[in-house]
Structure 1
Protein backbone atom coordinates (compact mmCIF):
# COMPACT_ATOMS: atom_id res chain seq x y z
CA UNK A 1 0.00 0.00 0.00
CA UNK A 2 1.59 3.22 -1.17
CA UNK A 3 1.67 6.42 0.86
CA UNK A 4 -0.08 9.52 -0.44
CA UNK A 5 1.71 12.67 -1.55
CA UNK A 6 2.04 15.55 0.88
CA UNK A 7 -0.21 18.61 0.72
CA UNK A 8 0.56 22.32 0.67
CA UNK A 9 -0.54 22.86 4.25
CA UNK A 10 -0.14 26.64 4.33
CA UNK A 11 -2.31 27.17 1.25
CA UNK A 12 -4.93 24.71 2.49
CA UNK A 13 -4.96 26.36 5.90
CA UNK A 14 -5.52 29.78 4.34
CA UNK A 15 -8.21 28.46 2.01
CA UNK A 16 -10.22 26.86 4.82
CA UNK A 17 -9.91 29.89 7.12
CA UNK A 18 -11.12 32.21 4.35
CA UNK A 19 -13.98 29.82 3.53
CA UNK A 20 -15.04 29.66 7.18
CA UNK A 21 -14.98 33.43 7.64
CA UNK A 22 -16.88 34.11 4.41
CA UNK A 23 -19.51 31.51 5.23
CA UNK A 24 -20.06 32.88 8.74
CA UNK A 25 -20.25 36.49 7.54
CA UNK A 26 -22.76 35.59 4.82
CA UNK A 27 -24.81 33.65 7.39
CA UNK A 28 -24.66 36.71 9.69
CA UNK A 29 -23.57 34.71 12.73
CA UNK A 30 -21.01 35.53 15.41
CA UNK A 31 -18.68 32.57 14.89
CA UNK A 32 -18.42 28.88 15.67
CA UNK A 33 -18.96 26.30 18.40
CA UNK A 34 -16.90 23.08 18.40
CA UNK A 35 -16.99 20.00 20.59
CA UNK A 36 -13.48 19.24 21.85
CA UNK A 37 -12.71 15.54 22.23
CA UNK A 38 -8.96 15.45 22.77
CA UNK A 39 -8.46 14.17 19.21
CA UNK A 40 -6.69 15.66 16.23
CA UNK A 41 -9.82 16.38 14.16
CA UNK A 42 -11.46 18.66 16.74
CA UNK A 43 -8.09 20.24 17.57
CA UNK A 44 -7.41 21.13 13.94
CA UNK A 45 -10.98 22.28 13.30
CA UNK A 46 -11.04 24.58 16.33
CA UNK A 47 -7.66 26.06 15.39
CA UNK A 48 -8.86 26.76 11.85
CA UNK A 49 -11.99 28.45 13.23
CA UNK A 50 -9.89 30.49 15.68
CA UNK A 51 -7.87 31.97 12.83
CA UNK A 52 -11.00 33.66 11.41
CA UNK A 53 -10.95 36.16 14.28
CA UNK A 54 -14.63 35.41 14.95
CA UNK A 55 -15.97 34.10 18.25
CA UNK A 56 -15.03 30.46 18.88
CA UNK A 57 -16.58 28.51 21.74
CA UNK A 58 -14.88 25.22 22.60
CA UNK A 59 -17.17 22.85 24.49
CA UNK A 60 -16.06 19.90 26.59
CA UNK A 61 -18.83 17.32 26.97
CA UNK A 62 -17.53 14.41 29.06
CA UNK A 63 -19.68 11.30 29.49
CA UNK A 64 -17.69 8.82 31.61
CA UNK A 65 -14.72 10.09 29.61
CA UNK A 66 -11.27 8.54 29.92
CA UNK A 67 -9.00 10.89 31.86
CA UNK A 68 -6.43 10.88 29.05
CA UNK A 69 -9.04 12.27 26.63
CA UNK A 70 -10.08 14.94 29.14
CA UNK A 71 -6.47 15.95 29.78
CA UNK A 72 -5.65 16.24 26.07
CA UNK A 73 -8.78 18.28 25.41
CA UNK A 74 -8.07 20.70 28.26
CA UNK A 75 -4.44 21.05 27.18
CA UNK A 76 -5.52 21.96 23.66
CA UNK A 77 -8.14 24.46 24.81
CA UNK A 78 -5.72 26.25 27.12
CA UNK A 79 -3.13 26.45 24.35
CA UNK A 80 -5.74 27.76 21.92
CA UNK A 81 -6.96 30.46 24.34
CA UNK A 82 -3.39 31.63 24.86
CA UNK A 83 -2.89 31.95 21.10
CA UNK A 84 -6.26 33.46 20.16
CA UNK A 85 -8.16 36.03 22.29
CA UNK A 86 -11.41 35.24 20.41
CA UNK A 87 -11.51 31.70 21.86
CA UNK A 88 -13.48 30.81 24.99
CA UNK A 89 -14.50 27.50 26.52
CA UNK A 90 -17.12 25.86 28.67
CA UNK A 91 -17.69 22.39 30.10
CA UNK A 92 -21.07 20.65 30.01
CA UNK A 93 -20.70 17.39 31.89
CA UNK A 94 -23.33 15.09 30.40
CA UNK A 95 -22.63 12.00 32.51
CA UNK A 96 -25.69 12.44 34.75
CA UNK A 97 -27.87 13.26 31.72
CA UNK A 98 -26.70 10.07 30.02
CA UNK A 99 -27.34 7.98 33.13
CA UNK A 100 -30.83 9.46 33.50
CA UNK A 101 -31.57 8.62 29.87
CA UNK A 102 -30.61 4.99 30.51
CA UNK A 103 -33.18 4.73 33.30
CA UNK A 104 -36.12 5.69 31.08
CA UNK A 105 -35.45 3.40 28.11
CA UNK A 106 -35.62 -0.40 28.12
CA UNK A 107 -32.49 -2.51 28.06
CA UNK A 108 -31.84 -5.03 25.32
CA UNK A 109 -30.68 -8.60 25.74
CA UNK A 110 -28.39 -8.19 22.72
CA UNK A 111 -25.43 -6.59 24.49
CA UNK A 112 -23.66 -5.58 21.27
CA UNK A 113 -26.72 -3.74 19.96
CA UNK A 114 -27.31 -2.14 23.36
CA UNK A 115 -23.74 -0.88 23.62
CA UNK A 116 -23.82 0.54 20.09
CA UNK A 117 -27.16 2.26 20.70
CA UNK A 118 -25.81 3.83 23.89
CA UNK A 119 -22.59 4.90 22.15
CA UNK A 120 -24.66 6.67 19.48
CA UNK A 121 -26.79 8.21 22.23
CA UNK A 122 -23.67 9.82 23.70
CA UNK A 123 -22.91 11.44 20.34
CA UNK A 124 -26.49 12.67 19.97
CA UNK A 125 -26.56 14.18 23.45
CA UNK A 126 -23.42 16.09 22.52
CA UNK A 127 -24.95 17.29 19.26
CA UNK A 128 -27.99 18.60 21.15
CA UNK A 129 -25.71 20.40 23.60
CA UNK A 130 -23.68 22.05 20.83
CA UNK A 131 -26.84 23.33 19.15
CA UNK A 132 -28.01 24.73 22.49
CA UNK A 133 -24.85 26.81 22.77
CA UNK A 134 -25.04 27.70 19.07
CA UNK A 135 -28.58 28.97 19.57
CA UNK A 136 -27.94 31.19 22.56
CA UNK A 137 -24.69 32.67 21.21
CA UNK A 138 -25.54 32.96 17.50
CA UNK A 139 -22.91 30.44 16.35
CA UNK A 140 -22.53 27.74 13.73
CA UNK A 141 -21.75 24.17 14.77
CA UNK A 142 -18.46 23.24 13.08
CA UNK A 143 -18.10 19.56 12.18
CA UNK A 144 -14.89 17.66 12.76
CA UNK A 145 -15.27 14.75 10.33
CA UNK A 146 -12.57 14.00 7.77
CA UNK A 147 -12.96 12.61 4.24
CA UNK A 148 -12.46 8.91 4.92
CA UNK A 149 -14.91 9.05 7.85
CA UNK A 150 -17.57 11.19 6.20
CA UNK A 151 -17.49 9.89 2.63
CA UNK A 152 -15.56 6.63 2.77
CA UNK A 153 -16.63 4.38 5.61
CA UNK A 154 -19.32 6.48 7.31
CA UNK A 155 -17.58 6.33 10.68
CA UNK A 156 -19.76 8.75 12.59
CA UNK A 157 -23.15 8.88 14.29
CA UNK A 158 -26.07 10.01 12.20
CA UNK A 159 -27.51 13.12 13.90
CA UNK A 160 -24.68 12.90 16.41
CA UNK A 161 -21.23 14.08 15.34
CA UNK A 162 -22.72 14.02 11.83
CA UNK A 163 -25.21 16.73 12.83
CA UNK A 164 -23.38 19.97 11.99
CA UNK A 165 -23.78 23.24 10.10
CA UNK A 166 -20.56 23.06 8.08
CA UNK A 167 -17.57 20.73 7.70
CA UNK A 168 -14.20 22.48 7.31
CA UNK A 169 -11.97 19.38 7.03
CA UNK A 170 -14.34 16.94 5.29
CA UNK A 171 -12.29 17.04 2.08
CA UNK A 172 -9.06 16.10 3.87
CA UNK A 173 -7.90 12.54 4.50
CA UNK A 174 -6.95 11.69 8.08
CA UNK A 175 -3.26 11.71 7.17
CA UNK A 176 -3.72 15.20 5.72
CA UNK A 177 -5.44 16.35 8.92
CA UNK A 178 -2.36 15.19 10.81
CA UNK A 179 -0.11 17.12 8.42
CA UNK A 180 -2.21 20.22 8.99
CA UNK A 181 -2.09 19.54 12.73
CA UNK A 182 1.71 19.58 12.70
CA UNK A 183 1.67 22.84 10.73
CA UNK A 184 -0.76 24.37 13.23
CA UNK A 185 1.42 23.22 16.16
CA UNK A 186 -1.32 21.15 17.76
CA UNK A 187 -0.18 19.76 21.12
CA UNK A 188 2.11 16.74 20.87
CA UNK A 189 -0.08 14.63 23.16
CA UNK A 190 -2.90 14.86 20.61
CA UNK A 191 -0.71 14.25 17.57
CA UNK A 192 0.81 11.17 19.23
CA UNK A 193 -2.48 9.67 20.47
CA UNK A 194 -4.19 6.78 18.69
CA UNK A 195 -7.45 8.03 17.12
CA UNK A 196 -10.54 7.01 19.09
CA UNK A 197 -14.15 8.15 19.21
CA UNK A 198 -14.33 7.60 22.99
CA UNK A 199 -17.99 6.57 22.81
CA UNK A 200 -17.76 3.20 24.54
CA UNK A 201 -16.10 4.15 27.80
CA UNK A 202 -13.11 1.88 27.23
CA UNK A 203 -9.73 2.07 25.49
CA UNK A 204 -10.75 0.78 22.04
CA UNK A 205 -9.29 2.76 19.16
CA UNK A 206 -10.84 3.63 15.80
CA UNK A 207 -8.65 0.95 14.21
CA UNK A 208 -10.00 -1.62 16.67
CA UNK A 209 -13.53 -0.77 15.57
CA UNK A 210 -12.87 -0.47 11.86
CA UNK A 211 -10.50 -3.40 11.44
CA UNK A 212 -7.99 -1.30 9.49
CA UNK A 213 -5.86 1.79 10.02
CA UNK A 214 -6.74 5.15 8.51
CA UNK A 215 -3.75 4.90 6.16
CA UNK A 216 -5.07 1.54 4.93
CA UNK A 217 -8.61 2.84 4.50
CA UNK A 218 -7.38 5.92 2.63
CA UNK A 219 -5.51 3.61 0.27
CA UNK A 220 -8.67 1.52 -0.22
CA UNK A 221 -10.76 4.64 -0.85
CA UNK A 222 -8.38 5.74 -3.60
CA UNK A 223 -8.44 2.26 -5.14
CA UNK A 224 -12.23 2.26 -5.09
CA UNK A 225 -12.31 5.67 -6.75
CA UNK A 226 -10.07 4.14 -9.45
CA UNK A 227 -12.76 1.47 -10.03
CA UNK A 228 -10.65 -1.36 -8.67
CA UNK A 229 -12.28 -4.52 -7.26
CA UNK A 230 -11.31 -7.02 -4.56
CA UNK A 231 -10.05 -9.47 -7.17
CA UNK A 232 -7.31 -6.98 -8.10
CA UNK A 233 -5.62 -7.56 -4.74
CA UNK A 234 -4.27 -10.33 -2.54
CA UNK A 235 -3.28 -10.74 1.11
CA UNK A 236 -3.70 -7.78 3.44
CA UNK A 237 -4.57 -5.44 0.58
CA UNK A 238 -7.57 -7.57 -0.36
CA UNK A 239 -8.70 -7.79 3.28
CA UNK A 240 -8.48 -4.00 3.71
CA UNK A 241 -10.27 -3.33 0.42
CA UNK A 242 -13.09 -5.67 1.40
CA UNK A 243 -13.36 -3.98 4.83
CA UNK A 244 -13.63 -0.61 3.12
CA UNK A 245 -16.26 -1.79 0.62
CA UNK A 246 -18.37 -3.42 3.34
CA UNK A 247 -18.35 -0.31 5.54
CA UNK A 248 -19.01 1.94 2.58
CA UNK A 249 -22.00 -0.21 1.57
CA UNK A 250 -23.66 -0.59 4.97
CA UNK A 251 -23.23 3.10 5.85
CA UNK A 252 -24.65 4.55 2.64
CA UNK A 253 -27.72 5.63 4.61
CA UNK A 254 -25.49 8.19 6.34
CA UNK A 255 -23.85 9.51 3.19
CA UNK A 256 -26.80 9.99 0.82
CA UNK A 257 -29.70 12.47 1.14
CA UNK A 258 -32.64 11.34 3.27
CA UNK A 259 -35.05 9.44 1.01
CA UNK A 260 -38.58 10.70 0.70
CA UNK A 261 -41.65 9.33 -0.98
CA UNK A 262 -42.21 11.26 -4.21
CA UNK A 263 -45.96 11.40 -4.67
CA UNK A 264 -47.53 10.86 -8.08
CA UNK A 265 -49.85 13.74 -8.96
CA UNK A 266 -53.06 11.84 -9.62
Structure 2
Protein backbone atom coordinates (compact mmCIF):
# COMPACT_ATOMS: atom_id res chain seq x y z
CA UNK A 1 0.00 0.00 0.00
CA UNK A 2 1.23 3.50 -0.89
CA UNK A 3 0.54 4.87 2.59
CA UNK A 4 1.28 8.55 1.97
CA UNK A 5 -0.82 8.62 -1.20
CA UNK A 6 -3.69 6.84 0.58
CA UNK A 7 -3.57 9.44 3.36
CA UNK A 8 -3.66 12.26 0.81
CA UNK A 9 -6.50 10.57 -1.08
CA UNK A 10 -8.68 10.15 2.02
CA UNK A 11 -7.86 13.66 3.25
CA UNK A 12 -8.90 15.17 -0.09
CA UNK A 13 -12.02 12.98 -0.22
CA UNK A 14 -13.11 14.17 3.21
CA UNK A 15 -12.46 17.81 2.41
CA UNK A 16 -14.20 17.68 -0.97
CA UNK A 17 -17.23 15.93 0.51
CA UNK A 18 -17.59 18.49 3.30
CA UNK A 19 -17.18 21.50 0.99
CA UNK A 20 -19.70 20.16 -1.55
CA UNK A 21 -22.16 19.46 1.27
CA UNK A 22 -21.66 23.01 2.59
CA UNK A 23 -20.54 21.57 5.93
CA UNK A 24 -18.09 23.36 8.22
CA UNK A 25 -16.27 20.43 9.82
CA UNK A 26 -16.29 16.97 11.36
CA UNK A 27 -17.15 15.35 14.65
CA UNK A 28 -15.44 12.10 15.65
CA UNK A 29 -15.93 9.91 18.70
CA UNK A 30 -12.45 9.21 20.10
CA UNK A 31 -12.17 6.01 22.13
CA UNK A 32 -8.44 5.45 22.59
CA UNK A 33 -8.38 2.86 19.80
CA UNK A 34 -6.53 2.83 16.48
CA UNK A 35 -9.56 3.33 14.22
CA UNK A 36 -10.82 6.49 15.90
CA UNK A 37 -7.26 7.81 16.22
CA UNK A 38 -6.59 7.39 12.51
CA UNK A 39 -9.99 8.77 11.53
CA UNK A 40 -9.66 11.89 13.69
CA UNK A 41 -6.12 12.43 12.40
CA UNK A 42 -7.34 12.27 8.80
CA UNK A 43 -10.11 14.75 9.58
CA UNK A 44 -7.63 17.09 11.26
CA UNK A 45 -5.40 16.77 8.21
CA UNK A 46 -8.09 18.42 6.04
CA UNK A 47 -7.65 21.75 7.81
CA UNK A 48 -11.39 21.87 8.47
CA UNK A 49 -12.75 22.10 12.00
CA UNK A 50 -12.53 18.76 13.76
CA UNK A 51 -14.27 18.11 17.07
CA UNK A 52 -13.02 15.09 19.01
CA UNK A 53 -15.61 13.81 21.47
CA UNK A 54 -14.85 11.59 24.44
CA UNK A 55 -17.91 9.73 25.73
CA UNK A 56 -16.95 7.47 28.63
CA UNK A 57 -19.50 5.04 30.06
CA UNK A 58 -17.86 3.14 32.94
CA UNK A 59 -14.74 3.24 30.75
CA UNK A 60 -11.50 1.50 31.65
CA UNK A 61 -8.91 4.09 32.71
CA UNK A 62 -6.42 2.80 30.14
CA UNK A 63 -8.84 3.64 27.32
CA UNK A 64 -9.50 7.10 28.75
CA UNK A 65 -5.78 7.78 29.09
CA UNK A 66 -5.04 6.75 25.48
CA UNK A 67 -7.91 8.87 24.15
CA UNK A 68 -6.74 11.92 26.07
CA UNK A 69 -3.13 11.40 24.99
CA UNK A 70 -4.19 11.26 21.35
CA UNK A 71 -6.46 14.32 21.57
CA UNK A 72 -3.78 16.37 23.30
CA UNK A 73 -1.26 15.42 20.63
CA UNK A 74 -3.70 16.33 17.84
CA UNK A 75 -4.48 19.71 19.37
CA UNK A 76 -0.77 20.53 19.59
CA UNK A 77 -0.28 19.66 15.92
CA UNK A 78 -3.50 21.05 14.43
CA UNK A 79 -5.04 24.43 15.30
CA UNK A 80 -8.38 23.29 13.79
CA UNK A 81 -8.88 20.53 16.40
CA UNK A 82 -11.04 21.02 19.49
CA UNK A 83 -12.40 18.53 21.98
CA UNK A 84 -15.19 17.97 24.45
CA UNK A 85 -15.79 15.29 27.07
CA UNK A 86 -19.31 14.09 27.81
CA UNK A 87 -19.62 11.65 30.69
CA UNK A 88 -22.51 9.41 29.64
CA UNK A 89 -22.28 7.09 32.65
CA UNK A 90 -25.15 8.83 34.54
CA UNK A 91 -27.31 8.78 31.38
CA UNK A 92 -26.64 5.07 30.92
CA UNK A 93 -27.50 4.34 34.55
CA UNK A 94 -30.75 6.35 34.29
CA UNK A 95 -31.67 4.38 31.18
CA UNK A 96 -31.21 1.11 33.06
CA UNK A 97 -33.52 2.39 35.80
CA UNK A 98 -36.15 3.47 33.27
CA UNK A 99 -36.53 0.14 31.44
CA UNK A 100 -38.18 -2.95 32.99
CA UNK A 101 -35.97 -5.10 35.21
CA UNK A 102 -34.59 -8.10 33.38
CA UNK A 103 -32.70 -11.10 34.81
CA UNK A 104 -28.99 -11.03 34.02
CA UNK A 105 -28.13 -12.89 30.84
CA UNK A 106 -25.80 -12.82 27.86
CA UNK A 107 -28.55 -11.15 25.82
CA UNK A 108 -29.01 -8.45 28.45
CA UNK A 109 -25.26 -7.73 28.46
CA UNK A 110 -25.24 -7.44 24.66
CA UNK A 111 -28.34 -5.26 24.60
CA UNK A 112 -26.83 -2.88 27.15
CA UNK A 113 -23.54 -2.83 25.25
CA UNK A 114 -25.39 -1.79 22.11
CA UNK A 115 -27.29 0.82 24.13
CA UNK A 116 -23.96 2.41 25.07
CA UNK A 117 -23.04 2.69 21.40
CA UNK A 118 -26.41 4.24 20.54
CA UNK A 119 -26.14 6.80 23.34
CA UNK A 120 -22.80 7.82 21.87
CA UNK A 121 -24.24 8.09 18.38
CA UNK A 122 -26.98 10.42 19.65
CA UNK A 123 -24.34 12.54 21.39
CA UNK A 124 -22.24 12.86 18.24
CA UNK A 125 -25.27 13.95 16.22
CA UNK A 126 -26.12 16.52 18.91
CA UNK A 127 -22.76 18.19 18.33
CA UNK A 128 -23.00 17.74 14.56
CA UNK A 129 -26.33 19.54 14.52
CA UNK A 130 -25.06 22.24 16.85
CA UNK A 131 -22.02 23.11 14.74
CA UNK A 132 -23.11 22.04 11.23
CA UNK A 133 -20.60 19.20 11.18
CA UNK A 134 -20.60 15.70 9.71
CA UNK A 135 -20.42 12.60 11.94
CA UNK A 136 -17.44 10.60 10.70
CA UNK A 137 -17.43 6.82 11.03
CA UNK A 138 -14.44 4.93 12.36
CA UNK A 139 -15.18 1.41 11.09
CA UNK A 140 -12.64 -0.49 9.00
CA UNK A 141 -13.32 -2.97 6.17
CA UNK A 142 -13.12 -6.11 8.31
CA UNK A 143 -15.60 -4.75 10.85
CA UNK A 144 -18.00 -3.05 8.44
CA UNK A 145 -18.10 -5.53 5.55
CA UNK A 146 -16.46 -8.69 6.89
CA UNK A 147 -17.91 -9.68 10.26
CA UNK A 148 -20.30 -6.78 10.97
CA UNK A 149 -18.58 -6.04 14.27
CA UNK A 150 -20.37 -2.83 15.14
CA UNK A 151 -23.69 -1.66 16.55
CA UNK A 152 -26.48 -0.96 14.10
CA UNK A 153 -27.47 2.71 14.58
CA UNK A 154 -24.66 2.99 17.14
CA UNK A 155 -21.12 3.31 15.84
CA UNK A 156 -22.67 2.26 12.51
CA UNK A 157 -24.80 5.43 12.48
CA UNK A 158 -22.60 7.93 10.63
CA UNK A 159 -22.58 10.35 7.70
CA UNK A 160 -19.48 9.06 5.92
CA UNK A 161 -16.82 6.37 6.37
CA UNK A 162 -13.27 7.31 5.38
CA UNK A 163 -11.46 4.11 6.41
CA UNK A 164 -14.13 1.50 5.62
CA UNK A 165 -12.21 0.32 2.54
CA UNK A 166 -9.07 -0.39 4.58
CA UNK A 167 -8.17 -3.64 6.31
CA UNK A 168 -7.17 -3.38 9.97
CA UNK A 169 -3.50 -3.89 9.12
CA UNK A 170 -3.72 -1.02 6.64
CA UNK A 171 -5.29 1.20 9.31
CA UNK A 172 -2.29 0.48 11.53
CA UNK A 173 0.04 1.44 8.66
CA UNK A 174 -1.76 4.76 8.33
CA UNK A 175 -1.61 5.19 12.11
CA UNK A 176 2.17 4.98 12.11
CA UNK A 177 2.46 7.45 9.24
CA UNK A 178 0.01 9.83 10.94
CA UNK A 179 2.05 9.71 14.17
CA UNK A 180 -0.68 8.14 16.29
CA UNK A 181 0.63 7.64 19.85
CA UNK A 182 2.59 4.43 20.41
CA UNK A 183 0.27 3.48 23.31
CA UNK A 184 -2.61 3.20 20.81
CA UNK A 185 -0.58 1.36 18.18
CA UNK A 186 0.29 -1.43 20.64
CA UNK A 187 -3.05 -1.63 22.52
CA UNK A 188 -5.28 -4.66 22.01
CA UNK A 189 -8.32 -3.60 19.93
CA UNK A 190 -11.51 -3.35 22.01
CA UNK A 191 -14.95 -1.86 21.52
CA UNK A 192 -15.04 -0.84 25.21
CA UNK A 193 -18.77 -1.53 25.42
CA UNK A 194 -18.82 -3.99 28.32
CA UNK A 195 -17.01 -2.06 31.03
CA UNK A 196 -14.28 -4.67 31.36
CA UNK A 197 -10.99 -5.57 29.69
CA UNK A 198 -12.31 -7.95 27.02
CA UNK A 199 -10.74 -7.38 23.60
CA UNK A 200 -12.28 -7.68 20.15
CA UNK A 201 -10.44 -10.99 19.74
CA UNK A 202 -11.97 -12.25 23.00
CA UNK A 203 -15.43 -11.50 21.64
CA UNK A 204 -14.96 -12.69 18.07
CA UNK A 205 -12.69 -15.67 18.69
CA UNK A 206 -10.16 -14.66 16.05
CA UNK A 207 -7.57 -11.91 15.57
CA UNK A 208 -7.90 -9.23 12.90
CA UNK A 209 -5.00 -10.74 10.98
CA UNK A 210 -6.90 -14.04 10.90
CA UNK A 211 -10.14 -12.33 9.88
CA UNK A 212 -8.38 -10.48 7.06
CA UNK A 213 -7.07 -13.80 5.80
CA UNK A 214 -10.56 -15.35 5.98
CA UNK A 215 -12.10 -12.38 4.16
CA UNK A 216 -9.60 -12.76 1.33
CA UNK A 217 -10.24 -16.53 1.16
CA UNK A 218 -13.98 -15.92 0.87
CA UNK A 219 -13.39 -13.41 -1.92
CA UNK A 220 -11.36 -16.09 -3.71
CA UNK A 221 -14.34 -18.45 -3.55
CA UNK A 222 -12.92 -20.81 -0.93
CA UNK A 223 -15.18 -22.84 1.36
CA UNK A 224 -14.75 -24.38 4.79
CA UNK A 225 -13.77 -27.80 3.44
CA UNK A 226 -10.66 -26.26 1.87
CA UNK A 227 -9.09 -25.84 5.32
CA UNK A 228 -8.23 -27.83 8.43
CA UNK A 229 -7.33 -27.05 12.04
CA UNK A 230 -7.12 -23.41 13.12
CA UNK A 231 -7.66 -22.10 9.58
CA UNK A 232 -10.92 -24.04 9.31
CA UNK A 233 -12.06 -22.68 12.69
CA UNK A 234 -11.26 -19.09 11.74
CA UNK A 235 -12.96 -19.43 8.36
CA UNK A 236 -16.05 -20.86 10.09
CA UNK A 237 -16.12 -17.90 12.52
CA UNK A 238 -15.84 -15.44 9.65
CA UNK A 239 -18.56 -17.06 7.53
CA UNK A 240 -20.94 -17.35 10.50
CA UNK A 241 -20.57 -13.69 11.48
CA UNK A 242 -20.65 -12.49 7.89
CA UNK A 243 -23.92 -14.37 7.39
CA UNK A 244 -25.77 -13.38 10.57
CA UNK A 245 -24.74 -9.73 10.26
CA UNK A 246 -25.87 -9.17 6.68
CA UNK A 247 -28.78 -7.14 8.09
CA UNK A 248 -26.20 -4.53 9.11
CA UNK A 249 -24.41 -4.46 5.76
CA UNK A 250 -27.37 -4.45 3.40
CA UNK A 251 -29.88 -1.62 2.86
CA UNK A 252 -33.01 -1.65 5.03
CA UNK A 253 -35.63 -3.93 3.41
CA UNK A 254 -38.53 -1.97 1.96
CA UNK A 255 -41.88 -3.65 1.41
CA UNK A 256 -42.82 -2.76 -2.18
CA UNK A 257 -46.58 -2.48 -2.74
CA UNK A 258 -47.83 -4.09 -6.00
CA UNK A 259 -49.22 -1.54 -8.43
CA UNK A 260 -52.58 -3.33 -8.52
CA UNK A 261 -52.99 -2.70 -4.79
CA UNK A 262 -52.51 1.05 -5.08
Q: Does the alignment pair 1:89 with 2:83?
A: yes
Counterpart contact for 1:107–1:114, Cα < 8 Å: no
Counterpart contact for 1:32–1:140, Cα < 8 Å: yes
Q: Which is further off, 110-119 or 157-166?
A: 110-119
Residue 68 of structure 2 corresponds to: 74
Q: Does the alignment pair 1:143 with 2:137?
A: yes
- TM-score relative to the length of structure 1: 0.97
- 2:180 partner SS: coil
- 1:194 partner SS: coil
- Partner Cα separation in structure 2 for residue 93 and residue 110 of structure 1: 25
What's the C-alpha RMSD, in Å, of the aligned pairs?
0.6
Residue 101 of structure 2 corresponds to: 107
Residue 4 of structure 1 corresponds to: none
In structure 1, the gaps of 5 or more residues are 1-6
Residue 264 of structure 1 corresponds to: 258
- Partner Cα separation in structure 1 for residue 229 and residue 41 of structure 2: 40
In structure 2, the gaps of 5 or more residues are none
- Partner Cα separation in structure 2 for residue 76 and residue 167 of structure 1: 20
Q: Which is further off, 109-118 or 223-232?
A: 109-118
Residue 198 of structure 2 corresponds to: 204
Displacement of 1:84 in angstroms is 0.2
Match of 1:243 among 215, 237, 241: 237
Displacement of 1:110 in angstroms is 5.2
- 1:33 partner SS: strand
- Partner Cα separation in structure 2 for residue 111 and residue 101 of structure 1: 18
Deviation >6 Å, runs of 4+: none
Instruction: Count matched residues.
Output: 260
Counterpart contact for 1:131–1:141, Cα < 8 Å: yes
Displacement of 1:109 in angstroms is 2.6
- 2:253 partner SS: coil
